[in-house]
Amino acid sequence: MLCVEQLQGDELGTVPTTPKPESKTRNRAKGAYLALLVLSALYFGRPEDVIPGLGMIPLAKIAGGLALIGLLLSLMSGKVKQKFAPETKYVIALFVWYCITIPFAAWHAGALTVVTTRLSKAVIVAVLVALVVKQFWQLKRLVWVQAAAVAGMTVMSLALHHTYGGRLVGALGGVFENPNDLAINIALNWPICVAFFFMARGLKKALWAVAVLAMLIGVELTYSRSGFLAISLAGVLVIWEFAIRGRRLGLMLVAGVLGVALLVAMPGHYLARLTSIVTGSEADSLDRGSREARKELLLNSIKTAVHNPVFGIGAGNFEVTAGSWHVAHNTYTELAAEGGFPALILFLLMLYRTMRNIKMTRASALYQIDPDVRGLTGGLWVSVAAYMISAFFASTEYSMYPYFLVAYTTALYQIVASKEPATDSADGAVNEKRYGRRKPGELAWTR
């Protein structure tokens, strides 16, 4: 029958002789995803700090260009049919608002530079991930690149053991060079590495176990108090997520033994350093007055926000107007100071929707049946929760990391929602409100 129909088609000249247009669409979509993977590898892996001579190449600009190309390819692919998720809209609105604040900035050129070279890349990433990542394996691979890069960097930093003032610094530059930034990045990626440990098998599981332990040691050796608070919160939430909720009660015993071992192996002055969180400068705490300086910066950022409530003083301008060339070390107060309270509200709404994405993912059918979905969801949830706390101790509003996190949860929820059957339940109503009514024959909530 097939041969007869094929012959008839040949005789009538109806057999297509040109490639289907869909092939170009698929190639553009693949190109956008590839650009996204390369961007993640460049940002988190920082090969220019490892390969001699590569530092002469402006990889930061190349990464931004890749992100923009990826976004354009995704838009040209014709596969962008769903509406923007609320959190994606908030990210875009945040960027637009910062653009509006530039004319009101204390230093116009500085604000323009921060918005166009730093915040713009973060926004592009958030939009790109939400548009491009359509399959769970794509999301898992993308998150794996980030987790593996940070884990590898931590192991390398421990091996080289470069220190500044007795504190471990990163083997790579950028956001990993400063001890406090290094500790925060390790702490926030640690839960994701734990998730990959539970998703791995055989030798891979052993490698992730080594990475998880190395990251704990790395945070200790940085002597970072904010890193300690972040990793402590992440540790408690990891036990809740993977031991109690995941019904791995033996993990609680392992965590207890590991905690005791870390206390025994605690480096010198570390306890005094942690005590100074409450008591202030302690002997042998390596504090050097940083606690009081941070308190002054925090109060200054709050005063600046109160006196400039609408437009703020401009992106990146706080360290200039403060007179000390130091950031506020608090994402929330620095957002309010530099972008006004509208910027802070948009950022908080973005984080709220991020947590809601995880909550809705847990209610999906795919979450119930797929252990990898449960593992990655748990790791992202812990990482987001730890970030929301650690943001009180670090200025991260122009870093790409929080926007990657937001976008991961957007993609995760869209993926699991696309597998849900059409329903008139409350969940279906929420999906319909979020993405629009489903067309006949269309996968549930893929628009």
Residue 15 lies in a domain: no
Residue 116 lies in a domain: yes
> From the CB of residue 183, how many other CB atoms can be counted at a distance below 10 Å?
32
Residue 447 lies in a domain: no
Query: Considering its fold, how many domains does the chain have in total?
Result: 1
Residue 446 lies in a domain: no
Please give the Cα distance from 295 to 10 (Å, whole number). Answer: 80
Least confident of 54-63, 170-179, 335-344: 54-63
Confidence of residue 57 (pLDDT cuts 50, 70, 90): confident
User: What is the reported pLDDT for 7?
Assistant: 41
User: What is the reported pLDDT for 427?
Assistant: 47
Mean pLDDT, to the nearest integer, of 32-44?
Answer: 82
Confidence of residue 64 (pLDDT cuts 50, 70, 90): low
pLDDT tens, position by position, 383-423: 999 999 889 988 889 988 899 999 999 999 999 998 877 55
User: What is the reported pLDDT for 293?
Assistant: 77
Residue 11 lies in a domain: no
Domain span holding position 261: 24-435
Question: Does the pLDDT at position 345 exceed 80?
Answer: yes
Mean pLDDT, to the nearest integer, of 184-189?
Answer: 90
Mean pLDDT, to the nearest integer, of 296-310?
Answer: 93
In this structure, what are the phi and psi dihedrals at residue 162, rounded to the nearest 5 degrees?
A: -80, 135
Higher per-residue confidence, 70 vs 246: 246
User: What is the reported pLDDT for 359?
Assistant: 95
Mean pLDDT, to the nearest integer, of 333-362?
Answer: 96
Residues 309, 341: contact at Cβ < 8 Å? yes
pLDDT tens, position by position, 79-102: 555 578 999 999 999 999 999 999
Contacts of 67 (CB under 8 A, 6+ apart): 35, 36, 39, 121, 124, 125, 128
User: What is the reported pLDDT for 136?
Assistant: 94
User: What is the reported pLDDT for 437?
Assistant: 44
SS (H, E, C) the chain: CHHHHHHHHHHHCCCCCCCCHHHHHHHHHHHHHHHHHHHHHHHHHCHHHCCCCHHHCCHHHHHHHHHHHHHHHHHHCCCCCCCCCHHHHHHHHHHHHHHHHHHHCCCHHHHHHHHHHHHHHHHHHHHHHHHHCCCHHHHHHHHHHHHHHHHHHHHHHHHHCCEECCEECCCCCHHHCCHHHHHHHHHHHHHHHHHHHHHCCHHHHHHHHHHHHHHHHHHHHHCCHHHHHHHHHHHHHHHHHHHHHCCCCHHHHHHHHHHHHHHHCCCCCHHHHHHHHHHCCCCCCCCCCHHHHHHHHHHHHHHHHHHCCCCCCCCCCHHHHCCCCCCCCCHHHHHHHHHHHHHHHHHHHHHHHHHHHHHHHHCCHHHHHCHHHHHHHHHHHHHHHHHHHHCCCCCCCCCCHHHHHHHHHHHHHHHHHHCCCCCCCHHHHHHHHHHCCCCCCCCCCCC
Mean pLDDT, to the nearest integer, of 144-164?
Answer: 88
Residue 16 lies in a domain: no
User: What is the reported pLDDT for 25?
Assistant: 57
Higher per-residue confidence, 186 vs 443: 186
Higher per-residue confidence, 282 vs 330: 330
Residue 286 lies in a domain: yes
> What is the pTM for the complete model shown?
0.82
Q: Which single residue is written with the structure tokens 């790791």? A: 379
Residue 341 lies in a domain: yes
Measure CA of the first residue to CA of the last residue in the chain; give whole Å.
38
User: What is the reported pLDDT for 18?
Assistant: 46
User: What is the reported pLDDT for 14?
Assistant: 45
Instruction: Supply the mean pLDDT for the chain.
Output: 80
Confidence of residue 29 (pLDDT cuts 50, 70, 90): low
Mean pLDDT, to the nearest integer, of 214-233?
Answer: 87
